[in-house]
Structure 1
Amino acid sequence: MVWKTMRRQPAIPLALLTLVVVLVLDATGHHAAARWLATIVVGAFVVWTLVGMIREMIRGRFGLDVLAIVAMAATLLVGEYVAALIIVLMLSGGEALEDFAARRAKRELTALLERSPQSAHVVSVDGEDGAESVRDLPVDDVAVGDFLLIRPSEIVPVDSEMVTDEASFDESSLTGESLPVTRRTGEILLSGAVNGSRVVRARAVRRSADSQYQQILMLVREAQESRAPVVRLADRFAIPFTVVSLLLGGIAWAVSGDAVRFAEVLVLATPCPLLIAAPVAFLGGLSRSAKAGIVLKGGAVIETLSRVRSAAFDKTGTLTRGRPALIDVRPEAGFSADEVLQLAASAEQYSSHALAEGIRAAARSRGLALLTAEDAGEVATNGVMARIGGRVVVVGKPAYVASLVPAFSRTDLAPGEAAAYVAIDGRHAGTLVLADAPRAESRGVVAWLARHGIDRVAMLTGDAHATAASIAETVGIDEVHAELLPDDKVRLARDLRPRPLVMVGDGVNDAPVLAASDVGIAMGAKGATAAGEAADAVILVDSLAKVVHAVEIGRHTVRVALTAIWIGIALSITLMVVAMSGVIPAVAGALIQELVDLATILYALRALRGPLTPESALTESATEPGPKARADHDERTRL
C-alpha cells in the first residue's frame, strides 16, 4: 500500500529523500550545498504548482495554491529551507491523504464497478437428440431469448426471467436489502444479483447494455467523473483566506521588523484543509447514498438536495405501487368468491392486460391453484376467454362481457378503482375490483418533507382528476395538478416556487419533467432507463422512503463539508495569530499544519456516517393526519 502511494505521489519520496540529504549536509557543515539542493527541489515544486494554478485561473477559478507558493518562496528567501521542504512534503502528503480518503469514501461506488458480470453460460439444445450444451459467451453477446445457466454464487449476467421454480438471490448491491430475496418462476432477475445455493435456469429478457446492472454502472461512472461543486465551495473562501493570511504575515513582519516572522506565519496558512477536506466529504456523501440504494450523479446533486424547498411527485408508480392489486371480489348469486377468483385468475394466465398480474397474485396469496386451460385466447383490449375444466370463462371489460351474457349489471366504483368482469358458462359470475393503492410509506414521506423545511408539496400526474385527488388526499398532498401531458408537467415544474424543486417520478413520460427540475429523482427499481437517464438521482430500491434519505444525506454532507472548511480556517488562523509572536518556528509550524490537515480530513469522513430516518418510522406515520387535516385542526384550536 505504501509503495502504491509513492507511485501515485512521486513528490513524497523525492521531498523525503531531499530532506534527509539536506539534514545530513547541514549536520556535516555543508550548509551552502544543503541550501542549494533544497532551493532546486522546492523551486521545481513551486514552478509545477504555479503552472497548475495558472491553468485553473485561465478556466476562471482562483484557488488557494497562491498561499502555498508564497509560503514556499518566503521560507526559501529567509533561509528556512528545511521548513520549505517540509511544506513540499506536507502538500504532497496532503494529496496522498486525500487520495486515501477519497478511495475510502468511494468504496461503495467502486465495488459496483468491480463486480460487473463479464460472461454468461448460454444453454443450447441439439435439434437431433435433444442434448443440452453450455457455452460461455461474453455478456455483451447474450441475446434476448437466450436460456442461461446461473451456478451457485454467480452473478446474474443480464436481466432475465426465472425458469427454475424457486431460488434465493443476494440483491444487496442493487437494492441495499441485506437479506436474501426469493424469486419464483416468471419473476424477473436483475443483472448484478448474486445467486444462492441452487443452479438456476433463466431466459434473457434484455441485452447487457439495457440491463439494470449496466444502467447502474453508467450512473456510477457519471457520479465518479462529476466534479463536486464543493471544490467551488472551498474556492469561495480562497480570496478572503488568502488576504487574511497575507495581512497577518505582513503585520507580523512590520511589527517585528523580521522577514522570518512573515514566513513563520505563512507556513501555517497552507491551504490543505480547504483543498482536501471538502471534496472528501462530498465523495463520502456519494458513497453513502450508493450504499443506501440511491445513485446521485455527482456533487452538484448533493449540494442542491441540501437546499430543496419544494417537492413534486408523479402518481402512478411513484406515490402508488404502479401495480393494481385486487381489493374486492363481488360474486353474483350462485357463485362463491373463491370460485370466481380462481377461474378468473386461471384464465388471466393467458392475458397480457395490466390487471391480469394483480388478479393472479391475489389468487396465489389466497392459496388458490391456477388451473390449466384446454383452450384460451385473448381479444385485444377487451378481455380473455378460456376453457378450463370444461367450463367457459370470460374475463374483461363490461361491454365485452355484456355482449356474451344475457343478464349483466355494472358495479359501482370509487375514484381510482378499476373492474374486471367475469362470466362463467354464459352467466355473469361476478366482478373483481382492483386499485393502484398508495405505497405504505407515501404519507410518511410527504409528512416528513413538510416537517423538515419543504414549503410546498404538489402532485403532477396525467391521470384523471378524481383518481388523483383521491390518492392525494390519502397521502396528505393538498396541491393536485391532474390530466397533464408531459409538456404540461414541464411547464408547471418550471413555475413552481420556492426553489430548488425536487421532482420524483418514473417512466418515459416523466423523463422531460425530471430533466427540467432542479433535482430529478427517478424510481428506477423496476429497470426503466428513460427516466433514470434524464434524472439527477436514481432510487434503486422500490421504496419512496429513499427520497427522504437522499435529502438527509445531501443536508448532512454539505453540513460536514462546511464544518470541515471552518475547522481548517479556524485552526489555521488561530495558529497564525500565535505565530505572529514568534513562538512557533517555521519548521515546527509546517509540522503542526500537517496535524490540522489530518483533523479536518478525519472530520470530513463523517459524511460516510450519520443516522437516517428508519423506513418503518415513515410507514408508521402513514396513520398521521395530512397537512390539510392538521391545518384544519390548528384553525379549530385557534377559534
Structure 2
Amino acid sequence: MTRFPLVSATLFVGVGVAVLLLSGQPAAAQLAASGYALAVAVFRAVTMVRGLFHGRLGIDLLAVAAIGSTVAVGEYIASLIVVLMLTGGEALEDFAHGRATKELRALLDRSPRTAHRETPGLPPEDIPVADVVPGDFLLVRPAETVPVDGTLASEAGTFDEAALTGESLPVERVLGDRLLSGTVNGADAIRMRATATASNSQYSQIVALVQEAAASRAPMVRLADRYAVPFTLFAFALAGVAWFLSQDPARFAQVLVVATPCPLLIAAPVAFLAGTSRAAHAGIIIKNAGTLEQLSRVRTAVFDKTGTLTSGHPTLLHVEIATGAEGTLTEDRLLQLAASAEQYSSHVLAGSVIEAAAARGLTLLPAENASEHATDGVSADCGRYTVIVGKPAFVRARTSGFQTVDLVSGQLGIYIGVDGRYVGALVMSDPLRANAVDTLAALRRLGVSETVLLTGDASSTAEHIADEAGITRFIADCLPVDKVNEVAALSLRPVMMVGDGVNDAPVLAAADVGIAMGAKGSTAASESADVVLMLDDLSRVATAVDIGQHTIRVAKASIWTGIILSVVLMIAASLGMVPAVAGALLQEVVDLATILNALRALGGRRASRISPPALIVASSGPVPPQIRSSDRGYS
C-alpha cells in the first residue's frame, strides 16, 4: 500500500463504488468514481508536461484524454479501469524490472561491506571495506566474501569464484596466490594481505559496470519512445473520425480507452535489462544496453592470437644455441639469462619463460636497467651480462651474427642476445584453445560472415593458427597502431574485436564492439572494451552475440505486439464493437501479455548453448597475478 499508493487508492475507490452500486446509489457511485478519476487525470497531466521534455508524450496524453472522455460520456467504470491500468502499469513495470535485473541485483547484494583487519597483539577489528588500504592483513572467516583484492597469506584455501567467473566448481589457492574480491571463502578461516583498495578491486569494478549497464538507454529503447508520438496522433485521428461518422461521443472514448500504449514504453527497456541480466549470469558483463543491439548485428569478428585464440600459456619445447656459442653457453644458462631479463616484463610469454626456468630449478639473476619495448622485447643487465630478448627483428638490430631458427607450424621463437652477440633462441608452442573451432563455427551460424586474425606474430605462425581455427584471413606482424588501422579499414560492419592485454586496449576501443577476455586479461583492456568476459572461455564470445540477437528479437516482438494489438482494438472500438469497460479490460490483458513476452529475454533457445559444460570447466584455471599484454609475437 505504501509502495504503490495510487494503486491502493484506486482499488479502495473501486470497492466503494461497488458498495454504492449494490446499495442502489448509482448517482453517488458515478460522482465518486468520476471525481477520483479526474483528480488522477490532473495529477498525470503534470507528469505529462514533464514527460514532454523527455520525448515521452504518448502514454500520459492518451491516458489523460481517455479518463476525461470516459467521465464526460458517463462511462465512469471504464474511467476507473483506465486509472487502474495507468497506476498499475508502474507496479507491473516494477515487477518486470525486478525479474529482469535479478542477476544484476544479486551482484550488488553480494558486495562486501566490512573487513576484519588484523593488528599485531590485538584481536581482529571490524572496519568498513572502504577503509582497507594495500598492505593490510585481513581475516576472512568461513563462507565470508573476500572484501578486496589481495594475496593469500595462509598455507591454502578453497574459494567459490562463481560470482566472478560463472565457474561453479570451487578452486584451491595456496600461499601467495592472488585472491579477487567477490569470491567466497570455503570452510576454513584464512588470512590475506590486501593489494588494492575496495574501489580498485575486481568486484567493485564489476558492480560499477553493471550499474552503468542498468542505467544506459539503448537505441531500441529510445526508438520505442519515439513510436509513442505517431501512435498518439493516429489514436486521436481514429477516435475523431469514429465520433464524426457515428455522431456518438462515446465512440471517441471507446477508441482512446484501448489506445494507451503502456507496452510500447515498458517492453523494450525490460527486454534489454533482461538480456543484460542473462549475460551477467553467464559471466558476460555488458557495459551498456546499446552494445546488445550492436552485438546482434555483428558481421565481422576480429581476434587477437595470444591469450585469445590460443591458451596464452606457451610451453618450452627446446632451447636452441646459436652456431659458435655452443662452447660458451649451456641450454640452462641461456634459459636462465632469458628468464632473468624477463622477470619484470608484463608480457604473457615472459611468465612462460620464467616458469620454464623454474621447472629446471634455475635461480634468476638480479636484473638492472630493465626496459621493455612494447610488442618487441626486453633488455636488461643480468649480473655481468647485457641481455636482449624478443622478436627476431628486435634482436637482429641489436646483435651481431643473427641466425633465424627453423620453426614448424604452431611454434614460436624467443630470440636472445648477450653482450651484443646473438646466442640462441627458445622454441615454444602456444596451442589453439580447445573450443576455438567450435566458437568460430557458432559465430558463422549466428551470421558473422567474415573472421580476421590480427597478431604481432610472424606470418607462418599466424597462417597456421588461422587455418586451424577456420578464420577466413589473417594479418601478421601487427603493432597496436596497425591493428587499429586494420579494424577501421574493414568494410563489413559492425566489427567485433576480441582480445586481452594492454596492447589490445586501443583496438578494442576502436571496434564497434570490443570484447575483453577479462578473466585473465589486463585492466586496460577491460576498461577499453564494451563487453568483459569474466570466465576465461572463448565460447562466451558466441554466447554474447547469441544473447544480443535474442534480446533484440524479443524487444522488437514486444514493441510490435503491443502496437498491433492496440491498433486492432482501436479499429474494433471505432466500429462500435468494443464497449468502454470491455476495452479497458482488454487493454490490461495486452499490457500484461507484452511485458511477459519481454521477459523472455531472460532465457535463450536450447540451440544457443554454444559450448558443452565440459569445455567450460576445462578452460577455467588459476588467475595469474601479473598484468598482461598480448602478442609481443616473438616468432
1:112-511 aligned within 5 A: 112-125=107-120, 134-328=124-318, 351-352=343-344, 355=349, 357-358=351-352, 377-378=366-367, 380=370, 412-414=406-408, 417-419=412-414, 433-511=427-505
Is 1:108 matched up with 2:103? Answer: yes
Residue 90 of structure 2: aligned partner: 95
Q: Aligned-pair distance for 1:465?
A: 4.5
Residue 398 of structure 2: aligned partner: none
Between stretches 344-353 and 40-49, larger displacement belongs to: 344-353
CA deviations 1:410-458 (Å, max 9, x no partner) are 96434751348899xxxx9x98532333322333323322332223222
Between stretches 554-563 and 412-421, larger displacement belongs to: 412-421
Q: Aligned-pair distance for 1:170?
A: 0.7
Contact 1:511/1:530, CA 8 A, preserved across alignment: yes
CA deviations 1:270-307 (Å, max 9, x no partner) are 21222222221111101100001111123211122111
Task: Determine helix, strand or coil for the equivalent of 2:52.
Answer: helix
Contact 2:239/2:256, CA 8 A, preserved across alignment: yes
Partners of 1:253 and 1:78 in 2: CA distance: 12
TM-score (norm 1): 0.80
Partners of 1:559 and 1:68 in 2: CA distance: 28
| Residue of structure 2 aligned with 1:525, choices 519, 522, 543 | 519
Between stretches 304-313 and 355-364, larger displacement belongs to: 355-364
CA deviations 1:436-492 (Å, max 9, x no partner) are 333223333233223322232223344554544443333222333344444443343
Task: Determine helix, strand or coil for the equivalent of 1:112.
Answer: helix
Residue 616 of structure 1: aligned partner: 612
Q: Aligned-pair distance for 1:47?
A: 3.0
Is 1:7 matched up with 2:10? Answer: no
Contact 1:42/1:84, CA 8 A, preserved across alignment: yes
C-alpha spacing 1:509/1:110, structure 2 compared with 1 (3 Å): same
| Residue of structure 2 aligned with 1:67, choices 23, 44, 62 | 62
Give the partner amino acid of 1:222. Answer: E
Contact 2:446/2:546, CA 8 A, preserved across alignment: no
Q: Aligned-pair distance for 1:64?
A: 3.7
Residue 621 of structure 2: aligned partner: none
Partners of 1:201 and 1:169 in 2: CA distance: 13
Task: Determine helix, strand or coil for the equivalent of 2:316.
Answer: strand
Q: Aligned-pair distance for 1:556?
A: 0.4
Q: Aligned-pair distance for 1:60?
A: 4.6
Partners of 1:484 and 1:500 in 2: CA distance: 22
Contact 2:315/2:429, CA 8 A, preserved across alignment: yes
Residue 605 of structure 1: aligned partner: 599
Residue 3 of structure 1: aligned partner: none
Runs of 4+ that moved beyond 6 A: 329-332, 339-350, 382-386, 420-423, 617-620
TM-score (norm 2): 0.80
Give the partner amino acid of 2:97. Answer: A
C-alpha spacing 1:594/1:210, structure 2 compared with 1 (3 Å): same
Contact 2:145/2:185, CA 8 A, preserved across alignment: yes
- Report percent identity of matched pairs: 50
C-alpha spacing 1:145/1:356, structure 2 compared with 1 (3 Å): farther
Contact 1:344/1:422, CA 8 A, preserved across alignment: no
Task: Determine helix, strand or coil for the equivalent of 1:161.
Answer: strand
Unaligned runs of 5+ in 1: 1-5, 126-130, 333-338, 387-393, 400-407, 621-639
Residue 77 of structure 1: aligned partner: 72
Q: Aligned-pair distance for 1:351?
A: 4.4
Contact 2:442/2:610, CA 8 A, preserved across alignment: no
Q: Aligned-pair distance for 1:36?
A: 4.0
Partners of 2:510 and 2:414 in 1: CA distance: 36
| Residue of structure 1 aligned with 2:557, choices 563, 571, 574 | 563
C-alpha spacing 1:27/1:409, structure 2 compared with 1 (3 Å): closer
C-alpha spacing 1:305/1:595, structure 2 compared with 1 (3 Å): same
Partners of 1:91 and 1:53 in 2: CA distance: 13
Q: Aligned-pair distance for 1:114?
A: 1.2
C-alpha spacing 1:409/1:297, structure 2 compared with 1 (3 Å): closer
C-alpha spacing 1:359/1:510, structure 2 compared with 1 (3 Å): closer
Partners of 1:571 and 1:326 in 2: CA distance: 65
RMSD between aligned residues = 4.0
Task: Determine helix, strand or coil for the equivalent of 1:210.
Answer: coil
